[in-house]
Amino acid sequence: MNTTALIRLILRRDRVWQPLWILSVALFVATTVATIRELLPTQETILHYTNEIAKNPVILLLQGPAYGDSLGAAAAQQRGAATTIFAALASVILLVKHTRSDEEQGRRELVGSAAVGRHAPLTAALTVVLAANAVLAVLITVVGASAGLPMAGSLAWGLMAASAGWIGAALAAVAVQVTQRARVAGALAFTVFFAAYLVRGVSDLGGPGLQWLGWLVPNGWILRARAFGGERWWVFLLVAGFVVAMVGLAYALSARRDIGAGLVPPRLGPARAPNGLRGPFGLAWRTHRGTALAWIAGAAFIGAGIGLGGQTAVETFGQSGALDFWAGRTGADDPAEIFFKLVVYELAVYSVSLYAIMTVLRLRGDEAAELMLSGPVSRARWAAGHLLFAVAVPVVVLVIAGLGLGLGDGDFAGGLAMTTVIVPGVWVMAGIAVAAFGLFRRAGAVVGWTALALAIAMEVGWEVGLVSDSLFMISPFAHVHYSTLADPGPGTLLGLTLVAAGFAAAGLYGLRRRDLAL
């Protein structure tokens, strides 16, 4: 009864986000099928593609092998793993939001003082998130089937995505019992999921000899459902067993702890501030350093991984002829080279933009701003503390990634050139977020994320030929693109930097003139 009321509350609070993420993932599947159909128009090209996949370590690591030689199998190979990551990420975020975030911010206490069972909030959050993933499974099945893919494979793909969401939610349900901090709980749950994902990748890289490794982690079970390649339905029983075990653990832990507390007691901090903590910049360093270092470490890991293992394989794949049509569209002479550039570009541009926008929008959440800004600190200086990270960390991340790329063939300059040109494009995205935050206050987040979503949509549209070259040039990413469309010379890069600076200046001007949203 009261759990029902809490479920309704969650649905009300998430009436935008919940449908949005489910539809986005379903749409992603739909565009994937369309893209693959365009890229691999004949059975021969599909066969070629799937054969090459088996030799490509980066693709095996990040996406997994193809389990068939049909259009569906190729599509599921290309983007199936990505749908599992999206579903898991969304599920972790939503579960943490309705459990530990509520607890951290005191809302849980308000609910707990009403006639609500001790476990009701956890039950309500789990119910909503698990059900949302079931809806996602149905949607993906419908999308796949209506695109002409076999029904069974479409259902398997849907269940793969939903399984990832269920596993993410179950991991998050445990993580929120362990730590008191919502952000840490979310990071913990997703890191576990992603680490298991990479274990699966290593297993796939290692070939038959390492098959067993993949069976140790749930992510291995999910991909080995073999969508469109002789579906193995029983793996979903493993998933169900895992989810039940994790949820049981979460309830057991929840019953043993106080509300508001975690299993890990909070540590004491220093009684006095260290010398570096003197103002907005010192404070920004404390706020952002953890995330920034994690991104830099990730860039080093992925950059070096591609540099050491991936380059030759990607090039072999590019030369295979499977991508000649697509390479022609990008205006490249050498499909191998351009395909390598594509892999690097796609890995770098969206993730680093994501970081930059997230960092800019931390301004919005810096609620202690009232104390800071009642001191002798101008709004511009306060904002600059945060913005420094949005500007500088993308540079560091991309330089590190570029150096990593050079590890394989010693061509550090080439690696750096490939990644660092992206920087001004990312800056423009960050600049748009600053302008939106400064000029529109609360709408800042929506505008910032919409700008990124539009840029991605244009990119995807351009790749399949729906968006013309000149329209695509509106996007800042088109100017730092891997294709010959872009001319990332000093003039272009300077121009983008100036545009970014212009946006930022407009945002700071707006911020100086408007009321603060306190």
Partner 1 sequence: MPDVIRMRQLVKTFGRVRALDGLDMTVREGEVHGFLGPNGAGKTTTLRILLGLLRKDAGEVRLLGGDPWAEAVELHRRLAYVPGDVTLWPSLSGGEVIDLLGRLRGGADAKRRDELIERFALDPRKKARTYSKGNRQKVALIAALASEVELLLLDEPTSGLDPLMEAVFREVIAEERRAGRTVLLSSHILAEVEALCDRVSIIRDGRIVESGTLAQLRHLTRISVTAELARVPDNGLPHVHDLSVDGGRVRFQADTEHIGDVLARLAEYGVRDITAQPPTLEELFMRHYR
Q: Which residues bind partner 1 (CB under 8 A)?
A: 104, 180-181, 266-274, 277-279, 282-283, 286-287, 367-368, 370-378, 513-516, 518
Length of the chain: 518
Report, in Å, the least distance between residue 362 CB and partner 1. Answer: 11
Tell me how far, at minimum, the Cβ of 378 lies from partner 1, in Å.
Answer: 5
Residue 143 or 182: the one with the smaller Cβ distance to partner 1 is 182
Q: Which of 444, 438, 432, 435 is nearest to 515 (CA)?
A: 438
* Minimum CB–partner distance for residue 110 and partner 1 (Å): 14
Cα→Cα distances 87→91, 146, 190, 193, 511, Å: 6, 21, 11, 11, 36
Q: How far is the CB of 377 from partner 1 (least distance, A)?
A: 6
The answer to whether 465 and 478 have CB atoms below 8 angstroms apart is no
Q: One-letter amino acid identity for 232?
A: R
Nearest CA among 362, 414, 423, 434 for reference residue 392: 423
What is the rounded CA–CA span in Å between residue 365 and residue 378? 18
Q: In terms of Cα–Cα distance, which of 431, 447, 445, 448 is closest to 508?
A: 431
Paired tokens of 157: 């793909």
| Secondary structure E strands in 113-210 | none
Q: How far is the CB of 437 from partner 1 (least distance, A)?
A: 16
CB of 386 to partner 1, least distance (A): 12
CA distance 180 to 265: 8
Q: Which is nearer to partner 1, 16 or 271 (CB)?
A: 271
CB 109 → partner 1: shortest distance, Å? 12
Gap between the Cα atoms of 499 and 99, Å rounded: 41
Q: Give Rg (Cα) of the chain.
A: 24
Going by the DSSP 8-state scheme, the letter that residue 516 receives in this structure is P
Q: How far is the CB of 518 from partner 1 (least distance, A)?
A: 6
Alpha-carbon span 145 to 448, nearest angstrom: 34
Q: Give min distance, CB of 356 to partner 1, in A.
A: 22
Which lies closer to partner 1 via its Cβ, residue 374 or residue 470?
374
Residues ≥6 apart with Cβ < 8 Å to 107: none
Distance of alpha carbon 467 from alpha carbon 166, whole angstroms: 36
Q: Contact at 8 Å (CB) between 239 and 259?
A: no
- What is the nearest approach in angstroms of partner 1 to the Cβ of residue 475? 35
**CB 258, min distance to partner 1, A:** 13
Nearer to partner 1, 55 or 512 (CB): 512
Q: What is the dihedral of CA 430, 434, 440, 443, to 10 degrees?
A: 40
276: closest CA among 285, 268, 267?
Answer: 285
Task: Considering the complex, state which of residue 1 and residue 518 has its C-beta at the smaller distance from partner 1.
Answer: 518
User: Which distant-in-sequence residues (6+ apart) come within 8 Å of 35 by Cβ?
Assistant: 460, 463, 464
Q: 1 vs 371, which CB is nearer to partner 1?
A: 371
Task: Decide whether 97 or 224 has the Cβ nearer to partner 1.
Answer: 97
- The residue among 376 and 491 lying less far from partner 1, judged by its C-beta, is 376
In the bound state with partner 1, the residue whose beta carbon lies nearer, of 206 and 279, is 279
Structure tokens at 240: 């169900």
CB 167 within 8 A of CB 92: no
In one-letter notation, the amino acid at residue 100 is: R
The nearer residue to partner 1, 238 or 377, going by C-beta atoms, is 377
Whose Cβ is closer to partner 1: residue 8's or residue 278's? 278
Closer residue to partner 1, CB minimum distance, 267 or 442: 267
Smallest gap from residue 145 Cβ to partner 1 (A): 47
Q: Which amino acid is at 378?
A: S
The answer to whether 407 and 306 are in contact (CB under 8 A) is: no
Contact 96, 71 (CB under 8 A): no
d(CA 87, CA 91): 6
Q: How far apart are CB 153 and partner 1 at their closest, in Å?
A: 47
Nearer to partner 1, 107 or 232 (CB): 107
441 within 8 A of 518, measured Cβ to Cβ: no
Grouping H, G, I as helix, E, B as strand and the rest as coil, residue 253 is helix
